[in-house]
A and B are shown apart, each in its own frame.
Chain A
Amino acid sequence: MNENKDIMILDAVERYIRGEMNPDERLHFENLRKTNGEVDQLVVEHTLFLQQMNRFGEWKKFHATLQEVHTDLAEQGKINADRLKGNARVVYLWNKYKRVAGIAASIAGVTALTISSLVWSISPKPDNKKIQANGKT
Chain B
Amino acid sequence: MNAENQERILLQGLARNDKKAVETIYKENFATVQSLIINNNGTPDDAKDIFQEAMIVLYEKARSGSFELNCLIKTYVYSVSRRLWLKKLQQANRYNGELSGAEAAVSVEEDISEHARRDAEFEMMGKAIMSLGEPCKSLLEAFYLQKQNMQEIAASFGYTNAENAKTQKYKCLVRLKKIFFTHYKNGTADE
> Footprint of B on A, CB under 8 Å?
3, 6-7, 10-11, 45, 49-50, 52-63, 65-66, 68-70, 72-73, 78-82, 84, 87-88, 91-92, 95
Contacts and interface: CB of A to CB of B under 8 A. Distances in A.
B68 to A, nearest CB: 21
Contacts of B180: 49, 52
B167 A7 contact: yes
Which 5 A-B pairs have CB atoms at the shortest separation, nearest pair first?
A: A57-B145, A7-B170, A88-B35, A79-B30, A56-B125
B171 interface: yes
Interface string B2-45: 00000000000000010100110011001100110011010110
A49 B178 CA distance: 11
Interface residues of B, number: 36
Interface in B152-181: 166-167, 170-171, 173-174, 177, 180-181
A3 B146 CA distance: 27
Contacts of B125: 52-53, 56
A12 to B, nearest CB: 11
Contact of B27 (A6, A59, A73, A87): A73
B38 A91 contact: yes
Contacts, number: 89
B117 interface: no
B27 to A, nearest CB: 5
Contacts of B31: 79-80
Contacts of A56: 122, 125-126, 145
Nearest to B119: A59
Nearest to A53: B144
A70 B31 CA distance: 12
Query: Which secondary structure characterizes the binding site on chain A?
Result: helix
A65 B167 contact: no
Contacts of A59: 56, 122
B87 interface: no
Given A49-B177, A66-B55, A79 B122 contact: no
B30 A73 contact: yes
6 contacts: A3-B171, A45-B181, A56-B122, A68-B19, A69-B23, A87-B35
Contacts of B59: 62
A49 B175 CA distance: 13
Given A57-B145, A62-B56, A91 B22 contact: no
Nearest to B14: A62
Given A10-B173, A70-B48, A79-B27, A88 B17 contact: no
Contacts of B35: 87-88
Contacts of A92: 38, 43-44
Given A6-B174, A52-B125, A73-B30, A88 B56 contact: no
A127 to B, nearest CB: 58
Nearest to B26: A69
A82 B44 contact: yes
A61 B177 CA distance: 22
Nearest to A76: B27
